[in-house]
Amino acid sequence: MTRPRPDLTAHARDVAPLLLGSLLTSRVGGIPVTVRITEVEAYGGVGQDPGSHAFRRETPRNATMFGPPGRAYVYFTYGMHWCMNLVTGPSGTAGAVLLRAGQVVAGVDVARERRPSARSDRDLARGPARLTSALGVTGECDGLNLFGTRSLLRLALAEPVEVEHIGVTARTGVGGAGAATPWRFYLSGEPTVSPYRPAAR
């Protein structure tokens, strides 16, 4: 069952837990692959969240974060991986929810071809770079409307998850002043959730 999308102009920390259990379908390459979202992280805007790409100012890299809510913000990291976010907040501000992990529920064979190193189906989208790889997401997907009826990437929201089934921790790999911010949300007991790792010293 899907439901109307929440107020995406709200802060990322409020939108993030509402995405758990939702279905993200990619038609990149012409063959649908669907992931059920099991883990997310929220990131704030300018001067608000030291862990965010937008903390200092708008740049060519993070410009999508400042655009209309509901778009995909896709960025390249560590010189090898793509990561994908849902943009939140009013246009002109910045906010995003990183899609950290999920369960591939359709198009498993295609996801396996894209992720041949995965030891099991549990690991196909267990982590932000693995998730984008399984879905075929690259920088060409940056700015796509995730709620557009003809979009290559489409998000169908599930019913809200009860609070007692949602885990909350600090964000993975975020150091400095933003290290302790508890904006990582995940489905408790879900095997596709990625392991928590503090920032490397």
12-187 folds as 3-methyladenine DNA Glycosylase; Chain A (3.10.300)
Which pLDDT does position 126 carry in this prediction? 98
pTM to 2 decimal places: 0.95
Confidence check: pLDDT of 4 > 70:
no
DSSP letter string over 18-50?
GGTT-EEEE-GGGS-EEEEEEEEEEE--TTT-T
Helices (H), the chain: 12-15, 108-114, 128-135
**pLDDT, tens digit, for every residue of 120-136?**
999 999 999 999 999 99
For residue 24, how many other CB atoms are within 10 A of its CB?
24
Q: What is the largest CA-CA distance in the chain?
A: 44
- The whole-angstrom separation of Cα 112 and Cα 93 is 38
Residues 6+ apart with CB under 8 A from 200: 173, 175
Band (92; pLDDT cuts 50, 70, 90) = very high
Band (6; pLDDT cuts 50, 70, 90) = confident
